[in-house]
Structure 1
């Protein structure tokens, strides 16, 4: 029971990301918010992940950190860093509900396509059906972007770009795990790498909002701490711990709590209103994710096509 609760809690924390940013100061930029989130959360995740991974490394022994492993760890950090501004761009322009679900809906599809290209393994029929549904949902959202009451095209591109970034680091992490690295060390390397990348952007962004007075629901400092410590450090630690004790099918289903949380918060807390086309796109996209989660129950599909952040 505790592993299930850990994964659900992680997914709910992930789902608060867009709403937290929306409740924060209005004079922020996606790049600045993403940089602060990674500086705080990535650094803490690196420390926590490396500390928790020590036990596994002592018990199992750590693989040799060769050029391939270092390259993959670098890819995870860079991809997570790229994910941040693209995700916040999507939610800022199209709202939390549409922006988050578009990112999360495109990520499993792109991750599956990358895996297919790398392994040359033909995907099974359930995955193809789920992908078709997800693509229809994404296409409907893209069509809505062209209408006067629809989504913003740049925001939509940002969400899909965030999904692609996630797909890249998910595949890189999978190869590290397959190579014998323990999950906590992999998560810690990703956090530390993303914090280093974020540090390079600090001179080019305005971070005065972090300590400046604000009449927003969340101060800049409170928003940064929540986004960093809660939605990255704590969420990834809970998710990593729970994932070790669950099947891929169970994890894939439980992580659907993330887009559900984001959509509910966007509508209930932020008062977002969706156009009929957007609602239709979200419904079809959600159906694709449900089929994808159900399909991961099959023994011939060992991949958990649903891990977020």
Structure 2
């Protein structure tokens, strides 16, 4: 079958320019939990190092254009985005430490489409189409099956707090994605916008790292893990995410990033040695179906 007769070129170009970079970013983000598990440090210092150093990297890549984007954003929007950037990694990594890598990841990313829809509906008056609703429902259901079908130990106050912090991570992730998308639609480049937001967020996170990161930075393994997290899931992934966000609505982008817990679960099986039953594999299939449905939406 001729590919050009079965899939319209416009659809392929739209997918390659928007959803595909978001999916690449989500896959790289899915490695964070496994990588962080090797670091001999508390989750707060890991989160502060990851997005603190990563924010400096994104600021350096953006150069002067980040200052232009920051001025255009204004103090209110810039502060909102920077605070969301700063809170997200602290909540996310602590959530994974308390509730488990997969649970923390799925709660944070699984709640994001709901938060994104509510924010876009309230702030932008966006209409929610049935295709997105079905994609989000399949993805969230798949994530829930993935977690409840696993063989992880958990329970107690730590897991409850971990879930609550995962929800906070999902909400703050949506806020800074929305701020970034808003600035990009005003004509600013993705590198400039992410450099401005994450550079401002780094100004908050690096002092946190200075207070909590002694154990992380004194260990060779800790430095290597922090370097990987800052360069790959932060630097490279957010460049790809920013490029995709220019052509993808926030509610769709946050649905696509549900690929992250799928990658995290697979790495848990292959690298960490975790085991999953039939229910969990069904959850992965539903999660993938939701991602495909969201990623192939009509332009």
RMSD value over aligned CA atoms? 3.6
106 and 279 in structure 1: CA distance in 2 versus 1, 3 angstrom threshold: farther
Counterparts of residues 68-217 of structure 1 (less than 5 Å): 69-134=74-139, 136=141, 144=148, 152-202=159-209, 204-212=211-219
1:268 and 1:164 map into 2 onto residues whose CA distance is 30
Q: Structure 1: which 5+ runs fail to align?
A: 214-218, 300-309
Contact 1:81 1:198 in 2 (8 A): yes
Write the distance in 1 (CA, Å) between the matches of 2:107 and 2:70: 38
Pick closer, same or farther for the CA change 1:63–1:135 going to 2, 3 Å: closer
Aligned to 1:292: 294
Structure-2-length-normalised TM-score: 0.76
Deviations along 1:166-205, one digit per CA (max 9) or x if unpaired, are: 1111111121122222211101012211110112324542
Query: Does residue 12 in structure 1 map to residue 18 in structure 2?
Result: no
Alignment-derived partner of residue 307 in structure 1: none
Structure 1 position 11, deviation (Å): 3.3
Distance in 1 between the 2:226 and 2:216 partners? 10
Alignment CA distance shift 1:47-1:123 (3 Å) = same
- Alignment check: 8 A CA contact 1:149 1:275 kept: no
Deviations 1:135-157 (A, max 9, x none): 55677689x59x99556222222
Distance apart, 1:282 and its partner CA: 5.8
1:141·1:277 contact (CA, 8 Å) conserved in 2? yes
Instruction: State the secondary structure of the residue aligned to 2:273.
Output: coil
* Cα distance in 1, alignment partners of residues 110 and 273 from structure 2: 22
Alignment of 1:254-273 (within 5 A): 255=257, 257-273=259-275
Name whichever structure is richer in helix by fraction.
2
Report deviation, 1:15. Answer: 1.7
Q: TM-score, normalised by structure 1?
A: 0.74
Instruction: Decide whether the 8 Å contact of 2:26 with 2:258 is kept in 1.
Output: yes
SS of 2:235's partner is: helix
1:40 to 31, 53, 64: 53
Consecutive unaligned residues in structure 2, runs of 5 or more: 1-12
Query: Residues 64 and 291 (structure 1 numbering): CA distance in 2 closer, same or farther, change over 3 Å?
Result: closer
CA distance in structure 2 between the partners assigned to 1:200 and 1:82 by the alignment: 13
* 1:200–1:19 distance in 2 versus 1, CA, 3 Å: same
Quote the residue 1:304 is aligned against: none
> For 1:226 and 1:107, how far apart are their aligned partners in 2?
25
Matched-pair contact (CA < 8 Å) for 2:107–2:167:
yes
Change in Cα spacing, 1:179 to 1:243, as seen in structure 2 (3 Å) is: closer
